[in-house]
Structure 1
């Protein structure tokens, strides 16, 4: 996984020491699967940790299959601020909201 500079900056502002951004993929959304983000200080045995610039992202093994090779970013716009997964080579297409996607078969 690639971690963008805006994401590194934002996580550095909001995370406490020992906290990670957890990315989880679950069924749902308009395209079949959706990304879920949460702050977590617990690492499970099957978690993969990606660290860069003093911040870290945790992805469980099942979710990793859906996001490997993707870029994780932070976007701040007038109407919202959001964490997002971009350039996901495992996704066939996504919806306009950016949180739902279908996988390549």
Structure 2
């Protein structure tokens, strides 16, 4: 049987996460992450969270793990990745242009 990643919330963290959920100034993604942690701490099953929050199991586990590793601060931003492929160096572009002429 799998072990559930159930975060232990202290009162300060719980209040912080509850404020995020209620706040208009907090980004929707951050509110979702706070709800994941709050609902998990209440002992709700993963299947229920998936249905209510419309997220996958890997997403739930990702944010549970990040919370355990870094507390509420770890929920503020996801790891960003630059879109698209990196551009070619100018030398490489020049070489290609010479070869195609």
Asked if these proteins are the same fold (TM beyond 0.5), I'd say: no
Higher RCO, 1 vs 2 (CA within 8 Å, ≥6 residues apart): 1
Structure ranking higher in strand proportion? 1
| Higher gyration radius (CA) | 2
Determine which structure has the larger helix proportion and give its number: 2
